[in-house]
């Protein structure tokens, strides 16, 4: 997901949208939810 984040820079001139989909059976695994939390924190900084 971080690699796709270059859309953020491209969106400065032309707005872009990045969707992040999750599914309870997949994202509820401990390792995967931690990865999602890290991505959200990455965006916040």
Mean pLDDT, the chain, integer: 76
CA 21 from centroid of its chain's CA atoms: 9
pLDDT at position 43 is 65
Question: By the 8 A CB rule, do 1 and 39 touch?
Answer: yes
User: What domain range includes position 12?
Assistant: 3-44
Alpha helices in 1-45 (DSSP H): 6-10, 24-27, 30-44
Q: What are the angstrom distances between the C-alpha of 43 and each of 2, 5, 25, 36, 40?
A: 9, 9, 24, 11, 5
Mean pLDDT of 23-27: 76
Question: By the 8 A CB rule, do 18 and 4 touch?
Answer: yes
pLDDT at 44 over 60: no
* pTM for the structure as a whole: 0.52
Quote the number of domains for the chain. 1
Is the pLDDT higher at 16 or at 41? 41
Mean pLDDT of 31-45: 78
pLDDT at 24 over 60: yes
């Amino acid at each position: 997901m971080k690699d796709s984040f270059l859309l953020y820079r491209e969106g400065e001139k032309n707005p872009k949208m990045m969707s992040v989909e999750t599914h309870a059976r997949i994202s509820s695994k401990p390792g995967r939810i931690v990865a999602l939390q890290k991505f959200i924190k990455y965006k916040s900084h």
